[in-house]
A = this chain, B = another copy of it.
């Protein structure tokens, strides 16, 4: 079985949300799995001096136009959140707790977080919202909310983030295919060909 694609992202990244809809079918068509790796983009951005796109003059206005257009281009439901960016620390921690405790729920939970944020305009920094998403997936709400503050869970997210920055991840989404780095939802066409031909 060939190695899975490594899909690094911050839940607060709208281009990562778009990529989350596109990467699965591409990987699957080449017999690959996808390893979802939520991380905190803040430490990565500190290394490059970057800022959330929508807060940069001119670029932000452009992104608010490009995002819904790119979603329409790919036929993906999208609504720019009224609260943006959001603190997605709790959601990312909960993902890693699920990966240990209920591995088959981790990716569905991640999809639910993205959908809450970028389709249903919910505040995923609000733990009550995360609790409802967990409940809908038949995950124990009380246990999952408690897990957000568990030291081992907090540590896991820190470790993943530090290792990602160490490997050169500075933006979201950031995808490794057999070690080859691809930044951005707009590199999925290259990833598709890379998987088909083993590089180009």
A residues whose Cβ falls under 8 Å from a Cβ of B: 44, 47-51, 56-59, 61-62, 65-66, 69-70, 72-73, 165, 168-171, 181-184, 186-187, 189-190, 193, 200
Contacts and interface: CB of A to CB of B under 8 A. Distances in A.
Contacts of A170: 57-59, 62
A198 to B, nearest CB: 13
A183 B66 contact: yes
Contact of A58 (B47, B51, B62, B184): B47
Nearest to A186: B186
Contact of A181 (B65, B73, B168, B190): B65
Contacts of A59: 48, 50, 170-171
A66 B183 CA distance: 9
A40 to B, nearest CB: 15
17 contacts: A44-B58, A48-B57, A49-B51, A49-B56, A49-B57, A50-B59, A58-B165, A58-B169, A58-B170, A62-B170, A62-B181, A62-B183, A70-B190, A72-B200, A73-B189, A73-B200, A184-B186
Contact of A193 (B62, B73, B168, B200): B73
Contacts of A47: 57-58
A112 to B, nearest CB: 28
Given A184-B186, A186-B186, A200 B58 contact: no
Q: Among the interface residues A57, A62, A169, which one has the most CB atoms of the partner chain B within 10 A?
A: A62
A189 B69 CA distance: 12
A168 B189 CA distance: 28
Contact of A190 (B57, B73, B184, B193): B73
Contacts of A56: 48-49
